[in-house]
Amino acid sequence: MIEQALANPWIRQLANAALLLAVINLGVLVLIYMERKVAGFIQSRLGPVHVGPRGWLQSVADALKLILKEDIIPAPADRFLFVLAPFFVFVPVLAVFLVLPFNAGWVAHDFSLAALYVIAAGTVAIMGIVMAGWGTNNKYSLLGGLRSAAQLVSYEIPVVLAILAVVFYAQSMSLVDIAEAQRGFGWFIFHPPLLVAAFVYMIGQLAETNRTPFDLPEAESELVSGFHTEYSGIRFAMFFLAEFANTFFAAALAVVLFFGGWDGLPGLTGALWLVAKSYVLVFVLMWIRWTLPRVRVDQLLGFAWKVLVPIGLIVVLWAAASVVYAGGAKP
Amino acid sequence: MGEVNPDLQSRVVKFPGGGVLVAGIDEIFNWARSNSMWSLTFGLSCCAIEMMATAASHYDLDRFGILFRATPRQADVMIVAGWVSVKMAPFIRRLYDQMPDPKHVLAMGGCACAGGPYRDSETIVKGVGEIVPVDVFVYGCPPRPENLIHGLILLQERIREESILGVRKREPITVQG
């Protein structure tokens, strides 16, 4: 019965999407707990300890409380944009997970342009952020939304260049092929051009996920909370969910692109290796977030266009040259 | 303010097992609400320094799941830390109105509770209770972080006694300085 139903491609994709949604939601609860604990230990505090054993249930309590809060739509807001914006931010994040390979054969949908699709689908979220900023009719939200748009558009380019360098090495845009090409510890991070590309990618993703050295869109000391200033309860929870899911996706994509995907020591399932490596990278992102101060907005854009983009272009040329003249992926 | 249909209570009791159902839901909802009291970031004067110290490394409010949100739309508890001038009062009322229900107010320090040493001044409101309904008064000048934490724990206990059906108890709790 279940096999018959799963043979239908539509039902199969729906089942995959539902499974991914569950995994993402659980993963985000873990990430929020981890963020607060890491923040605590970095600031020599403890973080949550009272709710559940060692505070494990803290994010469950937070999520439940946010669902139960009053849902406010401010009178001057544009209702249509205000209601639609959280979905525009959350759905692209869910959509990019569809092509992420967790293990050999563990991918909801693999196709030959997956790397391009990740970039294209991820960019739709900027629309949602600008909609939220404009639709709430609040000056802080508008400034936050516009800053966010400028930042995300600028940092998308170095990320694309870094992914392009990887695509040269793997000779494919399918994420499954890219991960397969690194089997047996032939990780792309060990190749000099891609080591630089990995740095460019991580800095770019740090900015795209709005984390602290680049968290200008929601800078508390100047913009209250940026584009989600007027959102309360469940709608704010969706922005929060999207932000943390995006952080996890950025780390998981880095693992697939540079750190061998599900490749690891034998004995454990590949998916566990992928998730473990992703969490290490997420920890690095949190470490940076709670250590560095915020940059200024002109420094932010100057850094993207004057430093990261030129480095990205050089890396692309370097990667292309090493693929053509030095045999590239087989050192 | 949680004032639902007054005869709702009697209807639920008529429904067999209704009381048990509501009690179970109350327990779960109150657990979530009392363990995730996000507080609004603002300080009016010197008590704010003590409030920041309570949130920082030594006393660490995040242990109880209390963290500070910059926007009233995402806050559950308003800690009024410091004297409230007549000029500031409308803004405090506005911030309170912008917070989504269920919301609570904690008045921190002698000035926020009753005007403190400025009680005779015409420019100071004689306690924030005159503009917003206060749940917990924490006296002291300023209250020590332990006192503020004690007030917050009493507020948690108060939230655990609330019900989705009934009117909230409004007699404020007082923590002596």
Contacts of B101 in chain A (CB under 8 A): 69-70
Does residue A192 have a cis peptide bond before it, meaning omega lies within 30 degrees of 0?
no
Percent of chain B with pLDDT over 70: 84
Radius of gyration of chain B (CA): 17
The answer to whether A65 contacts B36, with C-beta atoms less than 8 Å apart, is yes
Give the per-residue pLDDT at B121. Answer: 86
| B176 and B84 Cβ atoms separated by less than 8 Å | no
> Among A61, A220, A225, whose Cβ lies nearest the Cβ of B35?
A61
Quickly count: other Cβ atoms within 10 Å of residue A106's Cβ.
14
Chain A residue with Cα closest to B102: A69
* Residue A282 neighbours by CB under 8 Å, 6+ apart: A31, A34, A247, A248, A251
C-beta atoms of A47 and B57 within 8 A: no
Confidence band of A314 (pLDDT split at 50, 70, 90)? very high
> Measured between alpha carbons, how far is A153 from A76 in angstroms, rounded to an integer?
29
Which of A35-39, A225-229, A314-318, B168-172 shows the lowest per-residue confidence on average (mean pLDDT)? Answer: B168-172
Q: Which amino acid is at A5?
A: A
The position carrying tokens 């539509």 is A10
pLDDT of residue A313: 92
CB of B123 less than 8 A from some CB of A: no
What is the percent of chain A where pLDDT is above 90? 8
Give the span between the Cα atoms of A15 and A4, in whole angstroms.
Answer: 13
Provide the residue type at A245 as one letter.
A
Q: Which of residues 45-64 of B touch A (CB under 8 A)?
A: 56-57, 60, 62-64
Indicate if the pLDDT at residue A329 is higher than 60.
no
User: How far apart are the CA of A232 and the nearest CA of chain B, in angstroms?
Assistant: 5
Q: What value does the mean pLDDT take over residues A175-185?
A: 81
Q: Do A236 and B73 touch (CB under 8 A)?
A: yes
The reply to whether residue B71 touches residue A55, judged by beta carbons under 8 angstroms, is: no
B65: closest CA of chain A, how far (Å): 6
Asked if residues B82 and B111 have their Cβ atoms less than 8 Å apart, the reply is yes
- Nearest Cα of chain A lies from the Cα of B102 at a distance, in angstroms, of 7
Measured between beta carbons, the chain B residues lying within 8 angstroms of A50 are 35, 63-65
Q: What is the separation of C-alpha A30 from the centre of its chain, rounded to a whole number of angstroms?
A: 15
- Residue A269: strand, helix, or coil: coil
ipTM of predicted assembly, 2 dp: 0.79
pLDDT over threshold 50, residue B1: no
Does residue B71 belong to the interface with chain A, where contact is any CB pair within 8 Å? yes
How far is the C-alpha of B126 from the C-alpha of A216, rounded, in Å?
Answer: 39
Longest CA–CA span in chain A (Å) reads 63
In the block, tokens 């429904």 appear at B15
Kind of pairing between the strands at B104-108 and B136-138: parallel
CB < 8 Å to A48, chain B: 62-65
Query: What span, in angstroms and rounded, lies between the C-alpha atoms of B146 and B154?
Result: 12
> Best of A32, A36, A45 to disrupt the B interface by mutation (most B CBs within 10 Å)?
A45
pLDDT digits (tens, 9 = 90+) for B58-86: 888 888 888 888 888 888 899 998 888 89
Q: How confident is the model at residue A331 (pLDDT cuts 50, 70, 90)?
A: very low
Residue B115, sorted as left (phi over 0), alpha (psi -120 to 50) or beta, turns out to be: left
pLDDT of residue B3: 52
- DSSP letter at B42 equals -
Task: Decide: helix, strand or coil at residue B7.
Answer: coil
Sorted by sequence, the CB contacts under 8 Å of residue A274 that are 6+ apart come out as: A102, A103, A252, A255, A256, A261, A262
The answer to whether the bond into A53 is cis (omega within 30° of 0) is no
Average of per-residue pLDDT across A209-234: 78
Q: Do B73 and A72 touch (CB under 8 A)?
A: yes
What are the pLDDT digits (tens) for A247-259?
889 999 999 888 8
User: A70 and B74 in contact by Cβ < 8 A?
Assistant: no
How many whole angstroms separate alpha carbon A321 and alpha carbon B1?
68
Q: How far is A1 from chain B (nearest CA, A)?
A: 36
Place of tokens 């050089």: A314
DSSP bridge partners of B124: B85
Q: Domains (ranges, CATH) in chain B?
A: 8-175 (3.40.50.12280)
How far from A171 is each of A112, A182, A252, A257, B122, CA to CA, in Å?
A: 11, 12, 20, 13, 77
Which pLDDT tens digit goes with each residue over B93-142?
Answer: 999 998 888 888 999 988 888 888 888 888 888 888 889 888 899 988 88
Q: Determine whether the interchain pair B64/A236 forms a contact, defined as Cβ–Cβ distance below 8 Å.
A: no
Gap between the Cα atoms of A77 and B57, Å rounded? 39
A233 C-beta neighbours (distance < 10 Å), count:
19
Ranges of beta strands (E only) in A64-177 are none
Instruction: Judge whether B157 is closer than 8 Å to chain A, CB to CB.
Output: no
The whole-angstrom separation of Cα A58 and Cα A225 is: 22
Q: Across-strand partners of B81?
A: B108
User: Could you report the per-residue pLDDT of A135-173, keeping only the tens digit for each?
Assistant: 888 888 888 888 888 888 888 899 999 999 888 888 888
Chain B hits for A69, Cβ within 8 Å: 76, 100-102
Residue-wise pLDDT tens digits, A97-127: 888 888 777 777 778 888 888 888 888 888 8
Distance CA A215, CA A250 (A): 16
Report the alpha-carbon distance of residue A10 to residue A19 in Å, rounded. Answer: 14
Closest approach of B120 to chain A, Cα-based (Å):
34
Q: Show residues of chain B in contact with A44, CB under 8 Å.
A: 57
Candidates B57, B67, B101; nearest CB to A43: B57
**C-alpha Rg value of chain A to the nearest Å:** 20
| Predicted local confidence at residue A310, as pLDDT | 93
Residue of A67, A232, A238 to mutate, testing the B interface (most B Cβ within 10 Å of its Cβ): A232
CA–CA separation, A11 vs B134, rounded Å? 54
* Cα–Cα dist A2/A234, whole Å: 34
Can you tell me the mean pLDDT for A294-307? 86
Give the number of A-B residue pairs with CB atoms closer than 8 Å: 90
Calculate the average pLDDT of chain B.
Answer: 83
Q: How many residues does chain B have?
A: 177
pLDDT at B162 over 70: yes
The DSSP letter of residue A75 is T
Listed range (A1-15, A35-49, A165-179) with the worst mean pLDDT: A1-15
Handedness of CA B56, B59, B65, B67 (dihedral sign): negative
